[in-house]
Amino acid sequence: MVAALAAAESGARVLLVEKTDIPGGNTALTTSLVVAGSRYQRDEGIEDDPEAFIADITRRNGGQASPGLVKLMAQQGAPVLEWLADRTGIEFTVAQGASGHSQRRAHGCGGGWAFVRELISTVTKHPNIEIRWSTPVRSLILDSSGAAIGIQTEKGVITAGKVILATGGFGANKDMVAHYIPKADGIPYRGHPGVEGDSVRMGLEAGGVVANMDSFLPYPTYFRPLQLPMPQPLIHNGAILVGENGGRFVDETRYPSGPGATMLDMPGKCAYEIFDARIRQEVASELAPVIARQAFVTGSSSDELAAKLGIDPKGLSQSIEEYNAAASGGTDQFGRTPQALLSAPFYGAQVWVSLYNTQGGLRVNENGQALKADGTTIPNLYAGGDASEGISGPGATGYLPGNGTLTAIVLGKVAGEHAARSLQD
């Protein structure tokens, strides 16, 4: 939808074809958009800039993502967010937690669905945009030179001067997950059901190449019995994760990819999330659904909690003692800097790692144009968001919160504008 709006504002006539009758894809399931140097940050006195953002992204992905794309996302994220706010009337606020970033960058507006709802309203009203819901695209139509000139849908052929693929990743396609991310095979998928790798399939058929296909978001605190995620602020307010032996195994603040990637190699791909009354109070609103469904247990001591969870009490007691010792000043053995002591009564839940979205896809340049193996572009074809290679690099550890939606809005706008300009040349 971002690409459609950008292209339409640049003078193009746009047909937006949506596979399902459930709009928004995985964007509707997100909590915020993460950008650096926005007017909303400045209003709150937050000093931030694209260079600091680039450093954070690169630190997390180990420098293994396209430097050009990382730079583009960091530099254009705030301008694109402000453009969307101006066009849709959305008022963003900056969330309190840094969520793995060096600054507070998460911009919320009441949840992903609230953002998508306003975006749909704006796109629907634009005179240059037509939307067709429940219209799956089966393949691209290419001319004799290999240029994209349209799409084949279940309802017929549609010709086009440019085609932008924005169908998300492939998390809902079990065969593709098993092939590209064997470690994630069989873990619960929590994303949009229509995200089945259509862009990757069509792009490959058109001569494109893929990158970072084993990259994904392994969400580490999913309560599998009730299909309920434990809220992210628990970790950032001081919760810890332990294994069956009661021992910690990671710096939990490298959330979600750090703990999630480690848990993929643990027995049952699960761990135990431990927190106390202070943390429960501080995240009471986010924890409300979990409390209502009784997803965790309580212990007046760490031994009692360990007994109820079925984990080693000595190990848990030692983990809490070591964590509290570090809270008195300094960092713990995993590099985490605790901000407060953990004290009884304690709360805990068994949690499983789950698949929220994939982060690899078609290789693209800084215009969002799909690339061939030799680095040349596939004429008229673009890709964005989780349909593209993204900025998380390979594997399960490079994801920084916000990477997916950042590539969706920035590559959407860039690709839409470039496609519209190209039609006018």
Looking up tokens 């800097």 gives 337
Q: Which pLDDT belongs to residue 286?
A: 87
Show the beta-strand stretches assigned E in 133-239. Answer: 137-142, 148-153, 156-159, 163-165, 210-211, 216-223, 228-229
Of 344, 351, 354, 364, the residue nearest 414 (C-alpha): 364
> End-to-end alpha-carbon separation of the chain, Å?
24
355: β partners: 189, 218
Q: How far, in Å, CA of 97 to CA of 236, rounded?
A: 7
Q: Which pLDDT belongs to residue 99?
A: 80
Q: Average pLDDT, stretch 29-51?
A: 95
pTM of the model: 0.94
Q: Which pLDDT belongs to residue 217?
A: 93
Q: Which pLDDT belongs to residue 24?
A: 84
Per-residue pLDDT for 98 more than 90? Answer: no
* Cis peptide bond upstream of 256, omega within 30: yes
Tell me the per-residue pLDDT of 359-412, one tens digit each, with 9 for 90 and over.
999 999 999 999 999 999 999 999 999 999 999 999 999 999 999 999 999 999
350: β partners: 272
Q: Which pLDDT belongs to residue 13?
A: 98
Tell me the per-residue pLDDT of 277-333, one tens digit each, with 9 for 90 and over.
999 999 998 899 999 999 999 999 999 999 999 999 999 999 999 999 999 888 999
Say if residues 397 and 251 touch (Cβ distance below 8 Å): no
Q: Average pLDDT, stretch 246-265?
A: 95
Per-residue pLDDT for 173 more than 90? Answer: yes
HSE toward the beta carbon, residue 195, CA cutoff 13 A: 28
- Of all residues in the chain, what percent carry a pLDDT higher than 90? 91
Q: Average pLDDT, stretch 212-226?
A: 95
Per-residue pLDDT for 425 more than 90? Answer: no
Q: Average pLDDT, stretch 33-59?
A: 97
**3-state class (DSSP) for residue 88:** helix
Q: Average pLDDT, stretch 85-111?
A: 92
Q: Average pLDDT, stretch 237-264?
A: 95
Where do the domains of the chain lie, and which CATH numbers do they carry?
2-215+359-424 (3.50.50.60), 218-354 (3.90.700.10)
Q: Average pLDDT, stretch 212-231?
A: 94
